[in-house]
Amino acid sequence: MDLKPEQKGVAPGPFKRTVLVDCKGVPMPKETVEHWDRIWAFQARPDDLLICTYPKAGTTWIQEIVDMIQNGGDAQKCARAPTDKRIPYLELCLPKPLSSGLEDAEAMPSPRTIKSHFSVQLLPPSFWEQNCKMIYVARNIKDNAVSYFHFHLMNKGMPEIGPWDQFLQDFIAGKVAYGSWFDHVRGWWKAKDRHPILYLFYEDMKKDPAQEIQKVAKFLGLELSESVLSKIVQHTSFESMKANPMANYSTVPSSILDHTVSPFMRKGIVGDWKEHFTVAQNEQFDDIYAQKMRDTSLTFQTQL
Ligand code: PPS
């Protein structure tokens, strides 16, 4: 596909891996924290839709689903720009000449859909004040950790990490960007009792995409015909999205996202953790998981 100039990424100067600094108790990339006052003051509008996830939980997938629903299943309309230009990533701060998510969101006419990975305590207050609809996608911790590990390898803007075992320890301890997976999924699970939040699971989306897409449409107050629904299911399958330059992040310069290290659309399955966890790591993980999740009704599937 030929890309229009505005659809192409512009390579910035030498790209450096970030470091994490504390932001309200959550480790965050220093670039985000440097712009914190502006991010925190972001003015949400009542008709904004927020898509929020822990990183690597299926964000891009739900973004494509939402955009397809909003555009009546018209794939051409969804090919107007890459994912992050259609649905800005609020707290993403990139070096010039790249634009930041905040700038893109502020410049966008309503109705806007905005992406964030914030935990509840980091979300700018205006989203709550304006009672914006929010869609949260959660993914089982084991596959989420594996996907995040590979993402650190291919994304040259993420912090430096050690080998898998070291990463896993840091991930369990919440010493990664956006902090503890436990706090994140639990915080949003609680928030849904007091806000219009549709809480979805990656595993359910894999198991029955049509059913989950219908849930999203209903949440947005839209009806889908059978033919539009089946177009959306097809267009948002892993295989279709992997081949779609407007959804697979191939337009980002390779100095930032190096798909030769690991493609952004890597495997897209439930249960890949079995290829990564040793028996000992799995046992340790299960123990910690049982402790941290003992007093919540939130449950996950780690295989289908
Ligand atoms: S990010 O960087 O946080 O926005 O990444 P995110 O999009 O949340 O997560 C990327 C993982 O989601 C998988 N993915 C999909 N799985 C199934 N179906 C579809 N359509 C799909 N699109 C993206 C992607 O492959 C990453 O998971 P892994 O396990 O690494 O393959």
Q: How far is residue 116's CA from residue 111's CA, in Å, rounded to a whole number?
A: 16
Q: How far is residue 118's CA from residue 178's CA, in Å, rounded to a whole number?
A: 7
The rounded percent of the chain whose pLDDT value lies above 90 is 92
Atom nearest to 155 CA in ligand 1? 2
User: pLDDT at residue 174 above 90?
Assistant: yes
On the question of a cis peptide bond just before residue 111, with omega within 30 degrees of 0, the verdict is yes
Bridge partners, residue 52, by sequence:
116, 136
Q: How far is residue 41's CA from residue 228's CA, in Å, rounded to a whole number?
A: 38
Q: For residue 9, what pLDDT band results from cuts at 50, 70 and 90?
A: very low
Atom nearest to 61 CA in ligand 1? 22
When the candidates are 3.30.750.24, 3.20.20.100, 1.20.1530.20, 3.40.50.300, the CATH number that belongs to 21-150+163-292 is 3.40.50.300
The set of protein residues with a Cβ atom below 6 angstroms from ligand 1 is: 53, 55-61, 143, 147, 150-151, 236-238, 241, 265-268, 272
For residue 117, indicate whether it is catalytic: yes
Q: Give tens-digit pLDDT for 119-137.
A: 999 999 999 999 999 999 9
Instruction: With H, G, I as helix, E, B as strand and everything else as coil, classify residue 114.
Output: strand
User: pLDDT at residue 10 above 60?
Assistant: no
Q: Give tens-digit pLDDT for 50-60.
A: 999 999 999 99
For residue 29, give the H/E element and its range.
strand 26-29
Q: Give tens-digit pLDDT for 79-114.
A: 999 999 999 999 999 888 788 999 999 999 999 999
The pTM of this model reads: 0.95
pLDDT at 14: 61
> For the chain, how many residues are written?
304
Nearest CA to ligand 1 atom 1: 56
Q: What's the 64 CA to ligand 1 centre distance in angstroms?
A: 11
Mean pLDDT of all residues in 187-192:
98
Instruction: With H, G, I as helix, E, B as strand and everything else as coil, classify residue 201.
Output: strand
pLDDT at 51: 99
Mean pLDDT of all residues in 141-145:
98
Token duo for residue 175: 């010493």
Mean pLDDT of all residues in 142-153:
98
Instruction: With H, G, I as helix, E, B as strand and everything else as coil, classify residue 283.
Output: helix
Q: What is the 3-state secondary structure (H, E, C) of 160-185?
A: CCCCHHHHHHHHHCCCCCCCCHHHHH
Domain ranges of the chain: 21-150+163-292
pLDDT at 13: 54
Order across the sheet with 197-201: list the strands.
113-116, 49-53, 133-138, 197-201
Q: What's the 129 CA to ligand 1 centre distance in angstroms?
A: 30
The rounded percent of the chain whose pLDDT value lies above 70 is 95
Q: For residue 15, what pLDDT band results from cuts at 50, 70 and 90?
A: confident
What is the average pLDDT score of the chain?
A: 94
Q: How far is residue 131's CA from residue 151's CA, in Å, rounded to a whole number?
A: 32
